């Protein structure tokens, strides 16, 4: 049996006598010093971690509907992939060819394009299947755009070349070939020209195709063929899928960490995620393989990430490589870390400093001007910057991390650098990472843990004893991994219990984010995840509901409280939010309901209304199933509370009690 006590001794005098008339059903009494000034905690504690894993970006949050739009897929990402993956040539009466060329690209960063030739007049179609089909809604607008160049018209080698424009028809069709929408173009230019049209399908379809039809003899170069819903999140051009972005916004995250994870330090040095490659016109961004086995168009790039953060009131938390690649690079099982040559470190460090200028510099600065040119003259207000992710803490890592960290500290002391302490909550990398943090005075370190639900309950006191003079902690990746890696209520409640412990220690734990955030059905490489989705639906897990409840009940100060002889399967935090509301979070991990006596010392109102939000199910093994009602519903109700009252916590439940502040 343990006993949590957060009450400074001097505050004990404020305790009011409990209401002696209450029935003595409850075996446990939670005493909260409701009048104490409380311990201020991080205002940014609960956020999210977005990594491009499980098709989270292309085919996921990024609203682009065309797969391999710029013909840059390659076997480097997946052995069977080519530049024409997701595309096919469909002769429809004509005779033609589909090739890939690179002689006169749109941009050196976008070296390949398609060549569609019609040899014998008659329809020849270039078809894109989207990401598992293109989901369309009737009567909604879709923006089609592409770059095209007329290569020749008429016969190519028979002296019948003409200067006439070549017609091209763009159609949205069902898989069976029914027409949903159509636009006609005439390709007249011999140099790359952007063409666009709005297509409005006449019927809903979960899996349409884009069909580009040439019908006259000649050749066309085509690149960056794009189809976006007009309705993106906040109507941003090149924007995000509205329903998925809204699901993230509903969590009310205080920050978003991006773009990874292992994706950041990449599969070898050439695969580092380089932020500068992800800004500017999309057709000029440098795409590359994703170490999770697919492709990154980086259409969802740094500008879009920062814009999304701003749109939902979250702080951006980008992570850059620490000058070393993932230790698992090249499938080496932990021994494949590559270190950037020291001779290249100055240039690399400058890239990192440029990121800070791009985010925060005035629009007149070199990099601030690029941000302004993209449509955001005001600085983004970058505060946190991760350097490294779960790196193997080797001498090579240390040397490079130190160079980066010192340069940032010298030039930008306002930036909070977040160092890394390996992939686990203990062990060699963890200890070495912390040692480096101590020696270099790193302001914050990133701890990760994927553990069984029991581990979370057993470690509720993990941060109680952390030395407050050392680095602050960012719990950058955590999730309770239950049997078969299902997102059970048991796992969700273990995470909720853990979050109460993080709140109580929010003076040393500054940030926390569940991982991973998103996973597409049929492309899930890692389980569990917070939110599943397909092309038309979003499927939140019970862990999502926990994060949502915490995000919507964020607190500012922790109030002293005591629960004598607290059972190990009961967790709690007692706090006020920034408006002064009193918020109690209570997690009952037991399979039986638990009556609790709650004493609010210093609470002078004889009775007050309070709102309750309860997530519960007597069976901890339940998990949400796609398109079914939640396995554990969130019940909300208003109750009346007094300076001392009893409240029963349901079996396997998270209860959030909010008592509004009255001035």
Task: Kindly tell me which of 387 and 563 has the beta carbon lying closer to ligand AHR.
Answer: 387
C-alpha radius of gyration, the chain, whole number = 28
Cβ proximity of 388 and 419 under 8 Å: yes
Peptide bond into 261 cis (omega under 30): yes
In three-state secondary structure terms, 404 is helix
Binding status of residue 526 toward ligand AHR by CB under 6 A: yes
Closest CB to ligand AHR among 212 and 244? Answer: 244
Active-site residue flag, 390? yes
The distance of closest approach from Cβ of residue 253 to ligand AHR in the complex, given in angstroms and rounded to an integer, is 16
Q: Which of 219, 253, 260, 368 binds ligand AHR (CB under 6 A)?
A: 260
Question: What is the bridge-based pairing of β-strands 205-214 and 166-173?
Answer: antiparallel
Task: Using the rule CB under 6 A, give the single segment among 145-153, 255-263, 278-286, 554-562 that binds ligand AHR.
Answer: 255-263
Q: Can you name the residues that pair with 35 across neighbouring β-strands?
A: none
- Mark the segment that binds ligand AHR (CB under 6 A) among 168-176, 259-267, 454-462, 490-498: 259-267
C-beta separation of 626 from 582 below 8 A: no
Three-point CA angle 182, 183, 187, nearest 5°: 140
Residue of 515, 566, 615, 620 interacting with ligand AHR (CB under 6 A): 515
Sign of the CA dihedral with 522 first, then 526, 527, and 531 last: negative
- Measured from the CB of residue 559, what is the shortest distance to ligand AHR in angstroms? 34
Q: Is there binding between residue 455 and ligand AHR (CB under 6 A)?
A: no
Q: With contacts defined by CB under 6 A, how many residues of the chain interact with ligand AHR?
A: 12
Of 88-96, 112-120, 258-266, 582-590, the window that binds ligand AHR (rule: CB under 6 A) is 258-266
Query: Contacting ligand AHR (CB under 6 A), which of 111, 261, 316, 443?
Result: 261
In 3D space, the residue among 130, 109, 283, 278 whose CA is nearest the CA of residue 192 turns out to be: 283
Smallest gap from Cβ 265 to ligand AHR, in A, equals 9
Closer by beta carbon to ligand AHR, 53 or else 153: 53
Spatial distance between the Cα atoms of 87 and 69, rounded to a whole number of angstroms = 9
- Measured from the CB atom, the residue of 466 and 526 that comes closer to ligand AHR is 526
Tell me the H-state helices in 143-293. Answer: 242-249, 262-265
Phi-psi map region of 241: left, alpha, beta (phi>0 left; psi -120 to 50 alpha): beta
Q: Which of 424, 506, 495 is nearest to 473 (CA)?
A: 506
Closest to ligand AHR by CB, 222 vs 515, is 515
- Say how many C-beta atoms besides its own lie within 10 A of residue 87's C-beta: 25
The angle that helices 345-360 and 302-312 make with each other, rounded to 10 degrees, is: 40
Question: Please, what is the minimum distance in Å from the beta carbon of residue 455 to ligand AHR?
Answer: 16
Q: How far is the CB of 358 from ligand AHR (least distance, A)?
A: 24
Residues 202-221, one symbol each (x = binds ligand AHR by CB under 6 A, - = not), give --------------------
Restricted to residues 358-417, the positions that interact with ligand AHR (CB under 6 A) are 389-390
According to DSSP H, which parts of 322-394 are helical? 345-360, 366-373
Per the CB < 8 A criterion, the answer to whether 445 and 421 are in contact is yes
**Going by C-beta distance under 8 Å and a sequence separation of 6 or more, which residues neighbour residue 254?**
43, 44, 45, 46, 47, 314, 315, 511, 551, 554
> By C-beta, is 529 or 534 nearer to ligand AHR?
529
- For ligand AHR, which is the closer residue by CB, 72 or 446? 446
Question: For residues 396 and 446, what is the distance between their CA atoms, to the nearest angstrom?
Answer: 19
* Least distance from ligand AHR to the Cβ atom of residue 322, Å: 13
- From residue 44 to residue 63, the character string flagging contacts with ligand AHR as x (rule: CB under 6 A) and all else as - is -------x-x----------
CB closer to ligand AHR, 114 vs 445: 445
Report the residue number, 370 or 392, with the smaller CB distance to ligand AHR.
Answer: 392
37: exposed, middle or buried (C-beta count within 10 Å: 0-12, 13-18, 19+)? exposed
Chain centre distance of CA 575: 28
- Comparing CB distances to ligand AHR, the nearer of 199 and 512 is 512
- Asked if residue 516 binds ligand AHR (CB under 6 A), the reply is yes
Of the listed 72, 390, 477, 545, which one is catalytic?
390
**Of the candidate residues 211, 220, 245, 262, the single one contacting ligand AHR (CB under 6 A):** 262
Q: Please state the closest distance from residue 513 (CB atom) to ligand AHR, in A.
A: 10
Residue nearest to ligand AHR (CB): 261
Question: Can you list the alpha helix ranges (DSSP code H) found in 152-301?
Answer: 242-249, 262-265
In whole angstroms, the minimum distance from the beta carbon of 515 to ligand AHR comes to 4
Which of 223, 283, 391, 477: binder of ligand AHR (CB under 6 A)? Answer: 477
Distance CA 98, CA 106 (A): 18
Minimum Å distance from CB 477 to ligand AHR?
5
Distance of alpha carbon 17 from the chain centroid = 48
- Minimum gap (Å) between residue 526 Cβ and ligand AHR: 5
Binding mask 415-454 toward ligand AHR (x if CB under 6 A, else -) reads --------x-------------------------------
Q: How many CB atoms lie within 10 A of CB 336?
A: 16
Q: Which has the closest alpha carbon to 362: 349, 381, 384?
A: 381
Residues contributing to the site for ligand AHR (CB under 6 A): 51, 53, 260-262, 389-390, 423, 477, 515-516, 526
Active site residues: 390
């Amino acid at each position: 049996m343990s006993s949590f006590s957060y009450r400074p001794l001097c505050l004990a005098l404020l305790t009011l006598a409990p209401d002696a008339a209450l029935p003595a059903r409850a075996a446990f009494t939670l005493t909260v010093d409701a009048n104490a000034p409380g311990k201020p905690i991080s205002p940014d504690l609960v956020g999210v971690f977005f990594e491009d894993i499980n098709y989270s970006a292309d085919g996921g949050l990024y609203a682009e509907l065309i797969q391999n739009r710029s013909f840059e897929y390659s076997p480097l990402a997946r052995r069977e992939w080519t530049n024409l993956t997701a595309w096919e040539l469909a002769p429809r009466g004509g005779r033609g060819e589909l090739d890939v060329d690179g002689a006169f690209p749109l941009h050196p960063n976008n070296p390949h394009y398609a060549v569609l030739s019609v040899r014998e007049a008659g329809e020849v179609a270039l078809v894109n299947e989207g990401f598992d089909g293109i989901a369309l809604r009737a009567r909604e607008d879709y923006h089609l755009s592409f770059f095209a160049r007329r290569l020749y018209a008429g016969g190519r080698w028979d002296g019948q070349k003409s200067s006439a424009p070549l017609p091209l028809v763009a159609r949205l069709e069902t898989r069976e070939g029914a027409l949903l929408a159509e636009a006609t173009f005439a390709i007249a230019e011999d140099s790359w020209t952007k063409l666009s049209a709005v297509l409005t399908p006449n019927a809903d379809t979960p899996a349409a195709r884009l069909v580009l039809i040439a019908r006259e003899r000649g050749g066309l170069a085509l690149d960056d063929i794009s189809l976006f819903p007009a309705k993106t999140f906040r109507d941003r051009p090149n924007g995000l899928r509205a329903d998925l972005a809204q699901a993230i916004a509903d969590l009310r995250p205080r920050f978003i960490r991006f773009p990874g994870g292992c994706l950041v330090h990449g599969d070898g040095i050439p695969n580092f995620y380089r932020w500068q490659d992800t800004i500017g016109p999309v057709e000029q961004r440098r795409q590359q393989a994703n170490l999770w086995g697919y492709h990154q168009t980086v259409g969802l790039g740094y500008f879009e990430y920062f814009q999304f953060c701003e749109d939902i009131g979250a702080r951006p938390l980008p992570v850059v490589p620490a000058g070393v690649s993932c230790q698992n690079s090249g499938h080496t099982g932990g021994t494949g870390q590559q270190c950037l040559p020291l001779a290249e470190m100055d240039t690399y460090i400058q890239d990192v400093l440029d990121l800070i200028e791009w985010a925060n510099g005035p629009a007149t600065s070199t990099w601030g001007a690029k941000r302004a040119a993209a449509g955001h003259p005001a600085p983004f207000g970058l505060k946190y910057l991760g350097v490294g992710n779960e790196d193997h803490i080797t001498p090579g890592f240390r040397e490079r991390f130190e160079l980066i960290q010192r340069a940032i500290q010298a030039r930008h002391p306002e930036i909070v650098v977040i160092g890394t302490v390996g992939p686990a909550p203990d062990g060699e990398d963890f200890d070495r990472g912390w040692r480096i943090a101590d020696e270099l005075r790193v302001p914050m370190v990133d701890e990760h843990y994927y553990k069984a639900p029991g581990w979370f309950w057993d470690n509720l006191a993990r941060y109680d004893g952390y030395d407050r003079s050392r680095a602050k902690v960012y719990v950058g990746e955590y999730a309770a991994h239950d049997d078969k890696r299902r997102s059970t209520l048991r796992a969700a409640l273990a995470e909720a219990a853990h979050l109460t412990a993080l709140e109580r220690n929010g003076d040393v734990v500054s940030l926390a984010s569940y991982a991973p955030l998103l996973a597409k059905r049929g492309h899930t490489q890692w389980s569990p995840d917070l939110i599943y989705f397909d092309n038309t639906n979003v499927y939140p897990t019970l862990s999502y509901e926990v994060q949502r409840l915490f995000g919507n009940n964020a607190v500012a100060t922790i109030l002293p409280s005591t629960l004598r002889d607290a059972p190990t399967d009961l967790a709690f935090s007692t706090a006020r939010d920034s408006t002064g509301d009193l918020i109690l979070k209570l997690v009952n991990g037991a399979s039986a309901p638990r009556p609790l006596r709650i004493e609010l010392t210093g609470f002078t109102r004889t009775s007050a209304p309070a709102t309750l939000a309860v997530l519960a199910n007597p069976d901890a093994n339940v998990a949400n199933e796609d398109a079914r009602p939640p396995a554990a519903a969130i019940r909300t109700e208003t109750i009346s509370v007094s300076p001392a009252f009893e409240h029963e916590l349901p079996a396997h439940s998270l209860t959030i009690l909010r008592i509004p502040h009255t001035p």
